[in-house]
Amino acid sequence: MKKIVFGLAILLCILPFAFAQEETPESDDVTKDEVTVQTESAESSTTSEVVTGREQTNSVAKEQTSSKVESDDKNSRDTNNAAAEKAQDEKEIAVIRYQHGAKVRMMQLKYSVLSNILVGEEVVKYIQEKYPNTSVAKLNDILDKLQLIADEIDSVDYNRTAEDLAKQYVDLKNESRALAKEFRDEVRLIITPEDRNELAKRIREKTKEELKNLHEQIRHLVREFNAERFESAMKRIGREKPDVTDMIRRGVLQSQQIAQQVREGFQNLSDEEKKQAVNRIREEAAKARVYKEAAMAQIMSNQQERLSTRLQQRSEELARLAERFQERNMTRVSEALMERSAVLEQKSGIAGVRSERLNNLSQRIKDGVDLPERQPKPQMSGEVSE
């Protein structure tokens, strides 16, 4: 009995993470001002009093204590943020263990990246309109890098190991977040809170409309993935519900309702069937645990170094693309000039022939040579001759 209860507990624990959500992810919104700016400046001492002895010691001690508290608070926040990000990564990569789930996560990430690009383009346009003397070169550079991320997502090889795909997903996500933050920091130096409010109204509906097709594609992928996972879960407990699978594909049931269907199927088993199901569930849970540990080990290894390397590579890639673009433009200009030159040369040749004919004609007139009579214009049917 304990074994069955334990199996049910495992089932209850893993099910909430087994099915993907249909909602598209929130973008990092490159217009949000999430960075707190310190507005309090340190007061400079204007007195001529000299702090000596115990007073000086107490003053230094207070400063050290205050500094230590601030440092501890910052370290605590950093630790909490790191722990929260790690927990979020673990949750998100759970579905990447399956190829269809990896596609879901990558497309959701692409949605977020493209959303940021669309928002960023509107921000740049707004700045150019309202602050025409402000350079937007760096902002455009960041948007180009985000586009490279979207392009990389399109070229993902889903035949790689799940651990490699999970690592690539987290790396791409971290890189896009870093670029979005860099964009926000730059924009914050240019636009005002009033500008942000005006931009938000302009952007919101346009972004949804532009990404409508991708949103539908993600929704379809999520439903297919959830239907596959439901079928797999029901096979492990020895039950099949094709009607429920069809409802999942049509989007009638959401993730929590799907999980409830599996739980009910398990509870309706006989004791012997439950024992067999528990063994299969344990095997699946063990595989999931091994995958998660291996994937997170790859993800956490040299994470910051990988991020720095990727950002540097993006800059180099953009430089190569710019150089290639310039070369193509120069080639096109050169080809266009050659074509124009050939046309002019041809026209020049025709003009030369005509000039020679005119000279000959002029000379014949001077010499008194009779010119050939001009042939009469052919008479059209129905015309009356004079």
- The pLDDT assigned to 322 comes to 79
d(CA 201, CA 199): 5
Percentage of the chain exceeding pLDDT 90: 48
Q: What's the mean pLDDT when you consider all of the chain?
A: 77
User: Phi and psi at residue 374, in whole multiples of 5°?
Assistant: -75, 130
Are the CB atoms for 171 and 311 separated by under 8 Å? no
In 64-221, the DSSP E strands lie at none
Output the six-digit token pair for 375: 């042939």
What digits encode the pLDDT tens for the residues 284-295?
A: 999 999 999 999
* Most confident segment among 13-27, 68-82, 166-180, 246-260: 166-180
Burial class (CB in 10 A: 0-12, 13-18, 19+), 57: exposed
- The pLDDT assigned to 29 comes to 53
- The pLDDT assigned to 43 comes to 31
Per-residue pLDDT band for 35 (boundaries 50, 70, 90) equals: very low
What digits encode the pLDDT tens for the residues 309-351?
A: 888 888 888 888 877 767 666 666 566 666 766 666 666 666 6
Higher-scoring residue by pLDDT: 103, 202: 103
Residue burial 115-128, b: 16+ Cβ < 10 Å; e: rest? bbbbbbbbbbebbe
Higher-scoring residue by pLDDT: 47, 304: 304
Are the CB atoms for 237 and 27 separated by under 8 Å? no
- The pLDDT assigned to 324 comes to 74
Average confidence (pLDDT) over 40-51: 31
Average confidence (pLDDT) over 69-92: 75
Q: Is the pLDDT at 65 greater than 50, yes or no? A: no
Percentage of the chain exceeding pLDDT 70: 63
- The pLDDT assigned to 31 comes to 46
- The pLDDT assigned to 48 comes to 32
Output the six-digit token pair for 196: 């942000």
Average confidence (pLDDT) over 121-149: 94
Average confidence (pLDDT) over 247-267: 91
- The pLDDT assigned to 314 comes to 85
What digits encode the pLDDT tens for the residues 348-380?
A: 666 666 667 766 766 666 666 555 555 555 555
Report the predicted TM-score, pTM, of the whole model to 2 decimal places: 0.68
Question: Phi/psi zone of residue 53: left (φ > 0), alpha (ψ -120 to 50 degrees), beta?
Answer: left
Nearest Cα to Cα of residue 100 among 220, 213, 211, 17: 220
Q: SS3 for 236? A: helix
What digits encode the pLDDT tens for the residues 207-229?
A: 777 888 999 999 999 999 999 99
Output the six-digit token pair for 57: 């010691």
Name the least confident of 73-77, 140-144, 231-235, 270-274.
73-77
Contacts of 3 (CB under 8 A, 6+ apart): 275, 278
